[in-house]
């Protein structure tokens, strides 16, 4: 007769198994042998079979969901998941550290040496994991930084991620951020199994991690060897009140989440450089892929003072390892037509492995570059690849050049639509001016429109886009919304269910956001960050379409070149017709509300900060002005209403005086705040 367990004994056994998992996966100090753990786990299964009403979400048995998902739901991050700037050389690291010193000095922080929290830059997939009342409630991919995909069911399958935080002293809401990776030993073993079972083999560990997290069936993800390492927090309620980033990492670990053991606090530029060299020397022996190291200012108050630029923090950077290179042979050279009509020469290579990835193509950038490097068919060349950057041909090994080769000549006419190519003044790139009437540009534009960062149309892959264009079913993005089941079902490899799913994905994409819609249009030089700026600053599509170049340049991080690209795009009648057609099919987004005017004494006033401030830090002054409704810009123009000048103000103050702009001081801002 099997033993009868009480509810208390069940809870104790569950806690015991979770504690063993913490020691095994987080501390790397197992308390019992695997066989003993398995006996306890089987005991837990028996109890839960007898008492299913006792089972809670934090039980070790609840890691793998029974049913596959139909699709991934979108998750809007409570706080954006930012990207990082990069440095590649010692000089760039010096510039990064010096820039931080100068910014902190301007913010009233005169510091001789800065401590950095340094860590390996894992080559995996960034995710956020949210706990509510200590229990795992949601997990999401980074996505575009603002919106990701709900991968909760898949994250639960990772044994190193606790389903419940350790102890009882945890915040009500705790969001941890980190990287999911596939360890190298697990990657090798999985590929051996896949080959033996005629299953998909992963190209590299990063591909394995990303592919595993995007499985709709959690039971398949559970079979993949994945690990998670935390590197920061997002939303924490109530706030943690800690002083240093390194303290935050220790706190994360105490709550039961893995933190990389190679993390270290280092002093100043020399400490960063030494850490970089040490990690680089260990790189080949690590059990996970890395492509550099990350430095973060350790003092959290200084992080706040330094602030952000568009999508990246000023207080952190990634120090990338040198790009990996290999030699191979150029078997052919042809040209590709890009979304904006750019003509890019591409070297077709004899397959070669570079940085764990098989490379068969490499960019030659443009006509000037291919002439400068003099790359020819038959040449032996060095190929470089760094992270996710497109491989490029570095140089030719002239000593191995075959006799009788000829320089490559760029085409005069578009290889797709036969339109005569042109090169704009000041540009190195040849372009096809045909726009959407060129099938190559149309295909790339539709792919961009439907991409995850754009309209995020589920099921509309690159090959399907090419079929739709080749069949004449899609000539503008708006045509996607008029497709019928019979049209889609008639395409190659499209069964009825697949056709229905695609049409559902297209229909669901009608509900979007203004930043996504602007990005999806494919305006030259307008990426995610610029699209977000346009939407949040100008609020409506008509405002964006009608704002002049000078006003656009008043917006954060939009210069003269980008402003002109935006103006030029909306000046083209065919572009406006496509936008009208998209709105006609029902594409819409939530209204972006302007701040209440009654609470905004500086609403629509343009303010420029200059000189050293004493009462406020620069970041604080900017935040306070924005709270009052002001638009804080970096350059003085005739549209500037106020220049807030501190000590040693320079050219901006002189320009304000020349233009007759009102000059104010910190007392003026203090008066408004009072």
DSSP string over 28-71: S--SS-HHHHHHHHHHHHHHHHH-GGG--TTSGGGSS-SS--SS
For residues 469 and 446, is the Cβ–Cβ distance under 8 A? Answer: yes
Residue 410 tokens, joined: 């760029």
Q: Crossing angle for the helix pair 7-21 and 34-50, nearest 10 degrees?
A: 150
Residue 537 in tokens: 């600053």
User: Which helix (H) or strand (E) is 281 found in, with range?
Assistant: helix 268-282
Identified catalytic residue from 121, 311, 443, 631: 121
Cα separation, 270 vs 78, in Å, equals: 36
What distance in Å separates the CA atoms of residue 565 and residue 133, rounded to the nearest whole number? 49
Query: What's the CA angle centered on 414, arms 410 and 417, to 5 degrees?
Result: 160
Q: At which residue do the structure tokens 């080769």 appear?
A: 405
Find, among 313, 289, 81, the residue nearest to 177 by Cα. Answer: 81
C-alpha–C-alpha distance, residues 528 and 390, integer Å: 20
Are residues 207 and 187 in contact, defined by beta-carbon separation less than 8 angstroms?
Answer: no
Round to whole Å and give the CA distance between 447 and 436.
13
477 contact partners, CB below 8 Å, separation of at least 6: 445, 446, 449, 520, 578, 582
Distance CA 543, CA 255 (A): 48
- Give the span between the Cα atoms of 461 and 501, in whole angstroms: 13
Residues 6+ apart with CB under 8 A from 514: 535, 540, 541, 589, 592
Beta strands of 133-224 (E only): which ranges?
A: 135-141, 147-149, 173-181
- CA–CA separation, 185 vs 183, rounded Å? 6
- The torsion angles phi and psi of 418, rounded to 5 degrees, stand at 65, 15
Sign for the pseudo-dihedral over CA of 388, 394, 396, 397: negative
C-beta separation of 311 from 536 below 8 A: no
Q: How many other CB atoms are there within 10 angstroms of residue 596's CB atom?
A: 9
| Interior angle at CA 606, CA 605 and CA 612, nearest 5 | 125
Known active-site residue 121: yes
Please report, to the nearest 10 degrees, the dihedral formed by the alpha carbons of residues 634, 640, 641, 647 taken in order. 40
Asked if the bond preceding 80 is cis, omega within 30° of 0, the reply is: no
d(CA 95, CA 581): 48
**Complete edge-to-edge strand list for the sheet that includes strand 631-633:** 631-633, 606-610, 642-645, 662-664
Catalytic sites, residue numbers: 121
């Amino acid at each position: 007769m099997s033993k009868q367990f009480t509810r208390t004994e069940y809870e104790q056994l569950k806690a015991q198994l979770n504690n063993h998992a913490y020691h095994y996966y987080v501390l790397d100090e197992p308390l019992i042998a695997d066989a003993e753990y398995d006996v306890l786990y089987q005991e837990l299964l028996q109890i839960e079979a007898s008492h299913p009403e006792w089972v809670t979400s934090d039980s070790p048995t609840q890691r793998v969901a029974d049913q596959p998902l139909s699709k991934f739901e979108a998750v809007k991050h409570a706080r954006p998941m930012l990207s990082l700037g990069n440095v590649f050389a010692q000089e760039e690291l010096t510039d990064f550290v010096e820039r931080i010193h100068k910014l902190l000095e301007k913010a009233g922080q005169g510091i001789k040496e800065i401590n950095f929290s340094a860590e390996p830059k894992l080559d995996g997939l960034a995710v956020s994991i949210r706990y509510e009342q200590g229990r795992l409630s949601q997990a999401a991919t980074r996505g575009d930084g603002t919106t990701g995909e709900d991968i909760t069911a898949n994250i639960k399958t990772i044994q190193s991620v606790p389903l419940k935080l350790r102890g009882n002293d945890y915040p009500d809401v705790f969001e941890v951020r980190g990287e999911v990776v596939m360890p190298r030993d697990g990657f090798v073993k999985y590929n051996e199994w896949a080959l033996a079972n005629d299953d998909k083999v992963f190209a590299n560990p990063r591909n394995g991690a990303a592919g595993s997290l995007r499985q709709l069936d959690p039971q398949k993800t559970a079979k993949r060897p994945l690990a998670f390492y935390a590197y920061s927090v997002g939303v924490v309620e109530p706030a943690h009140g800690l002083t240093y980033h390194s303290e935050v990492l220790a706190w994360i670990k105490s709550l039961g989440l893995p933190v990389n053991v190679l993390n270290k606090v280092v002093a100043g530029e020399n400490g960063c450089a030494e850490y970089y060299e040490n990690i680089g020397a260990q790189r080949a022996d690590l059990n996970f892929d890395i492509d550099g190291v990350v430095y973060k200012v350790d003092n959290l108050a200084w992080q706040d003072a330094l602030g952000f630029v568009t999508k990246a923090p000023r207080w952190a950077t990634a120090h990338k390892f040198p790009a990996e290179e290999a030699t191979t042979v150029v078997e052919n050279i042809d040209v590709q037509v890009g979304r904006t009509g750019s003509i890019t020469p591409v070297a077709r290579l004899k397959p070669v492995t570079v940085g764990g990835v098989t490379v068969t193509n490499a960019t030659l950038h443009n006509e000037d570059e291919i002439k400068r490097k003099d790359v020819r068919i038959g040449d032996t060349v060095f190929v470089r690849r760094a992270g996710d950057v497109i491989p490029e041909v570095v140089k030719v090994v002239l000593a191995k050049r075959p006799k009788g080769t000829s320089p490559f000549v760029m085409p005069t006419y578009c290889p797709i639509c036969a339109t005569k190519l042109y090169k704009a003044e000041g540009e190195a790139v040849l372009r096809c001016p045909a726009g959407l009437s060129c099938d190559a540009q149309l295909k790339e534009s539709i792919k961009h429109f439907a991409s995850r960062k754009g309209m995020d149309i589920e099921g509309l892959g690159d090959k399907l886009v090419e079929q739709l264009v080749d069949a004449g079913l899609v000539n503008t993005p708006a045509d996607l919304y008029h497709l019928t089941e019979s049209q889609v079902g008639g395409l190659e490899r499209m069964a009825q269910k697949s056709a229905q799913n695609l049409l559902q994905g297209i229909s669901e994409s009608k509900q979007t956001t203004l930043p996504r819609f602007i990005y999806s249009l494919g305006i030259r030089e307008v990426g995610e960050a610029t699209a977000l700026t346009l939407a949040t600053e100008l609020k409506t599509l008509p405002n964006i379409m009608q704002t002049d170049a000078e006003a656009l340049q008043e917006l954060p991080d939009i210069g003269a070149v980008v402003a002109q690209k935006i103006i030029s795009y909306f000046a083209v009648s065919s572009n406006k017709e496509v936008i009208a057609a998209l709105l006609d099919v029902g594409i819409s987004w939530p209204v972006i509300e302007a701040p209440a005017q009654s609470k905004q004494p500086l609403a629509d006033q343009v303010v420029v900060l200059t000189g050293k401030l004493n009462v406020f830090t620069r970041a604080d002054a900017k935040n306070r002005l924005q709270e009052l409704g002001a638009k804080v810009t970096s350059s003085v123009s005739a549209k500037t209403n106020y220049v807030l000048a501190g000590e040693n103000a320079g050219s901006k103050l002189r320009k304000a005086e020349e233009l007759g702009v009102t000059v104010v001081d910190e007392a003026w801002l203090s008066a408004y705040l009072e």
